[in-house]
Amino acid sequence: MTLDAPFAGKSSGLPLETRPVAAGVFMARVGDDVVLLDLRSDAYACLAGVGDGLVLTEAGVRADLGLLDLLADADLLERDPGPPRRPLPTAPLRELDLPRLRWPLAHASSLLAAAWRAASVGSRAPIRDLIGALPPPPSARPDPARVASVVSGFRRLLPWVPGQGACLYRAFVLLTMLRRVGQDATWVFGVRTWPFGAHCWLQLEDAVLDDDPERVARYTPIMAVQ
- pLDDT at position 134 over 70: yes
Q: Are residues 150 and 204 in the same domain?
A: yes
Q: Are residues 100 and 190 in the same domain?
A: yes
For residue range 160-213, list pLDDT tens digits in order.
776 666 899 999 999 999 999 999 999 999 999 999 999 999 999 999 999 999
Residues 6 or more apart in contact with residue 180 via CB below 8 angstroms: 110, 113, 114, 135
Q: Are residues 121 and 213 in the same domain?
A: yes
Largest CA distance in the chain: 67
Q: Are residues 119 and 67 in the same domain?
A: no
Asked if residue 86 is part of any domain, the answer here is no
CATH code of the domain in which 45 resides: 3.90.930
Grade residue 96 by pLDDT with cuts at 50, 70 and 90: confident
Q: Are residues 163 and 115 in the same domain?
A: yes
Q: Name the domain count of the chain.
A: 2
Q: What is the span of the domain harbouring residue 154?
A: 94-225
Of 18-27, 45-54, 125-134, the range with the lowest mean pLDDT is 45-54
Beta bridge partners of 38: 25, 43
The SS3 assignment for 55 reads strand
Question: Residue range 39-54: average pLDDT?
Answer: 92
Q: Are residues 57 and 102 in the same domain?
A: no
Asked if residue 79 is part of any domain, the answer here is no
Global pTM value: 0.90
Cite the beta strand spans of the chain per DSSP E. 2-3, 16-19, 25-30, 33-38, 43-47, 54-57, 60-64, 94-95, 186-192, 197-204, 207-208, 220-225
